[in-house]
A and B are shown apart, each in its own frame.
Chain A
């Protein structure tokens, strides 16, 4: 159960409506790309969805939400704090168990940064930090991904690597992307946002980059 059907979504900042009212129905298995100009309301929509689905989703927010003082391992491990007992989590903080270390290392290897596992998040580069947040979302193993510009700080090949991983590991996803090529390549459905409303909602195979450009 990773699809959702949301109606009458609205959000306001300082009395000014920035989103909606809009409705969004996402079926299980759909991979939705949110596209549109910056400030159109993509990020707000992502966090609205996150609130509505009550946290069953894996979230990659734009500011990543890493704990800078903790090493990469623990930042990733935090994705599954709910499945383990408190004593287990506490011990892990002091000395991680081999099984978890193996799992996290494997994930980081897929993201091409296995050597960083014990480095504090504070000393990573922007691209590396982004991949740690993605690793945390993957480690969480929920069916639904909500991601806000998850590859904005990555170079071309890495961006493709990450997008492919996200495509393979999550049944359903809603990803805010400003890169139209990536959106068309990895998502099944494109939702264009303009001034807080849905201005375009089509399957990606029906679209070309030229159809999307007017949104920007």
Chain B
């Protein structure tokens, strides 16, 4: 069994995570973590829907930002997908999607300020990068035969509209709808940096210990996501997309001079602005690298590796909850509800909650990342396991789990896990904003100290790290011949 490459890869990654644990800062530092957790759950079961008038507005804004951001992102992503063959375009897309929505928001906040455009672009830009990649893959896979049969002299656009798009349409629509769900999550967490979405109120309610209020917001958010197929109908879509911009809120007017200033002054590295010029760049960069980037990278990588393995464990434990091969309909329904909650809660919110309850260390981040990502992968392979038909006299219970199901789903499980590797790293970096010493912590520091030049360099380093892990993940998936569909 140990000769199988998938098992060997799993063991190597587990070993790395175990070694990482030795270096990681894992602790519960709060004196009464369970009392606080209890109070929080009490708040969730006694939600207070009427405490704040902001709640309905926050939900509406969350939806509006998601719609406008995802719509804009998908249009731009589609256009990019058309020229995705060009190498520079690929690099550009990899780059813009490697930067997390919150980082984009932090960047735009510096010159657009609290204008709706900040939130819209923070979603639209990374999403455009992702859409470009996925749309390009879908278009690539379309049947080439109809295109070959077209009469010579057919216009490029006509050929594309008739021979390409119709074949890809359903897949593109499904993926876009799925992205809308991701967009709702992204939109919600933008509130944590000050945009008027759910996160804004959630953070306020939480930091003041108003758990019933926070509980109400979370519940409404789950309902919003769970009922997505009911209220997002293709026929209503134009109405939503045209209507959404009106519900983004007013914000503050844009002062265009700030935009120019940001690009020509703020992000120009310190030494270049002063007298030192290029000669001072070496020591400036070196200092930044040693004191901030390196510790940030180290912590980000360690946390990512631990969270990756923890995600795998949670996913393997969670998938039987919805698999038709275990338990009755009641168990499965509650399993579904549980997994929907896990995967609808953005890592950032989960980590924020756990950090408040357990005190600061890597532990809340690991648990948050593992629960969210494990919930997603558990859901996907659980669904897949239900399509497996077992022989009538198949073993039951634990034997069924270990002999019949796990071996059959293990390859796609690994495929999803390696696909999400880069996503986990992106999130790990961003969790630094909450006070864990990953790259996001140093980016946030630089921004809080109004040192945008340093912030930009650190964001670029974060993006490169993500791109690196993405390439490595793809390499491993190719090496093990694992195939997967995109998830977010």
Give min CB distance, A108 to chain B, whole Å.
18
Q: Does B149 contact A (CB under 8 A)?
A: yes
Report yes or no: B161 in contact with A65, Cβ–Cβ below 8 A.
no
- Beta-carbon contacts under 8 Å, B123-174 to A: 143, 145-146, 148-155, 157-159, 161-163, 166-167, 169-170
B163 to chain A: closest residue by CB:
A67
Of A66, A69, A81, A83, which one neighbours B159 at CB under 8 angstroms? A81
* A residues near B149, Cβ cutoff 8 Å: 59, 61, 65, 78, 136
Given contacts A65-B146, A65-B148, A78-B150, contact A70 B166 (CB under 8 A): yes
Give min CB distance, A112 to chain B, whole Å.
23
Report yes or no: A69 in contact with B170, Cβ–Cβ below 8 A.
yes
A54 to B153, CA, bound (A): 11
* B residues near A66, Cβ cutoff 8 Å: 146
**Which residues of B line the A interface, CB within 8 A?**
143, 145-146, 148-155, 157-159, 161-163, 166-167, 169-170
Give min CB distance, B56 to chain A, whole Å.
37
Give min CB distance, A65 to chain B, whole Å.
4
Give min CB distance, A68 to chain B, whole Å.
7
Q: Does A90 contact B (CB under 8 A)?
A: yes
A89 to B156, CA, bound (A): 11
Instruction: Give the tally of cross-chain contacts (CB within 8 A).
Output: 71
Of B152, B158, B162, B167, which one neighbours A68 at CB under 8 angstroms? B167
Bitwise interface map of A from 54 to 79 toward B, beta carbon under 8 Å scored 1, else 0: 11100101011111111000100011
- Beta-carbon contacts under 8 Å, A116-145 to B: 136, 140, 142
* B residues near A81, Cβ cutoff 8 Å: 150-151, 154-155, 158-159, 162
For the complex with contacts A65-B149, A74-B162, A78-B163, 6 further pairs of A-B residues with Cβ separation under 8 Å are A56-B152, A69-B169, A69-B170, A82-B151, A82-B155, A89-B155
Of B151, B153, B166, B170, which one neighbours A67 at CB under 8 angstroms? B166
A contacts with B, residue count (CB < 8 A): 29
Q: Does A86 contact B (CB under 8 A)?
A: yes
A55 to chain B: closest residue by CB:
B152
Give min CB distance, A10 to chain B, whole Å.
21
Q: Does A9 contact B (CB under 8 A)?
A: no
B152 to chain A: closest residue by CB:
A55
Report yes or no: A93 in contact with B161, Cβ–Cβ below 8 A.
yes
* B residues near A74, Cβ cutoff 8 Å: 162, 166
**Which residues of A line the B interface, CB within 8 A?**
54-56, 59, 61, 63-70, 74, 78-86, 89-90, 93, 136, 140, 142
A–B complex contacts, Cβ < 8 Å, 22 sampled: A59-B149, A61-B149, A65-B145, A65-B149, A67-B143, A67-B146, A67-B163, A67-B167, A68-B143, A69-B169, A70-B166, A74-B166, A78-B146, A78-B162, A79-B151, A81-B151, A81-B154, A81-B159, A89-B157, A89-B162, A93-B161, A140-B151
Give min CB distance, B94 to chain A, whole Å.
30
Report yes or no: A89 in contact with B145, Cβ–Cβ below 8 A.
no
A89 to B151, CA, bound (A): 14
Given contacts A61-B145, A78-B146, contact A67 B162 (CB under 8 A): yes
B169 to chain A: closest residue by CB:
A69
Report yes or no: B153 in contact with A82, Cβ–Cβ below 8 A.
yes
Residue from the set A67, A70, A79, A136 with the largest chain B CB neighbour count within 10 Å: A67
* A residues near B167, Cβ cutoff 8 Å: 67-69
Residue from the set B159, B161, B163 with the largest chain A CB neighbour count within 10 Å: B161
Given contacts A54-B152, A65-B148, contact A90 B166 (CB under 8 A): no
A169 to B152, CA, bound (A): 20
B145 to chain A: closest residue by CB:
A65
Give min CB distance, B60 to chain A, whole Å.
32
B171 to chain A: closest residue by CB:
A69
* A residues near B151, Cβ cutoff 8 Å: 55, 79-83, 140, 142
Report yes or no: B148 in contact with A70, Cβ–Cβ below 8 A.
no
The 10 closest A-B pairs by CB, nearest first: A65-B145, A69-B166, A82-B153, A55-B152, A89-B158, A81-B154, A82-B151, A82-B154, A86-B155, A70-B166
Report yes or no: A90 in contact with B150, Cβ–Cβ below 8 A.
no
A188 to B477, CA, bound (A): 57
Report yes or no: B166 in contact with A63, Cβ–Cβ below 8 A.
no
* A residues near B159, Cβ cutoff 8 Å: 81
* B residues near A142, Cβ cutoff 8 Å: 151
A134 to B102, CA, bound (A): 55
A79 to B148, CA, bound (A): 11
A56 to B150, CA, bound (A): 10
* A residues near B145, Cβ cutoff 8 Å: 61, 63-65
A142 to B152, CA, bound (A): 12
Give min CB distance, A124 to chain B, whole Å.
15
Give min CB distance, B196 to chain A, whole Å.
37
Report yes or no: A90 in contact with B157, Cβ–Cβ below 8 A.
yes
A155 to B169, CA, bound (A): 34
Report yes or no: A90 in contact with B158, Cβ–Cβ below 8 A.
yes
* B residues near A70, Cβ cutoff 8 Å: 162, 166
A82 to B153, CA, bound (A): 5
Report yes or no: A82 in contact with B161, Cβ–Cβ below 8 A.
no
Give min CB distance, B258 to chain A, whole Å.
41
B155 to chain A: closest residue by CB:
A86
A82 to B155, CA, bound (A): 7
A140 to B152, CA, bound (A): 11
A82 to B159, CA, bound (A): 9
A74 to B158, CA, bound (A): 12
Give min CB distance, A135 to chain B, whole Å.
13
* A residues near B154, Cβ cutoff 8 Å: 81-82
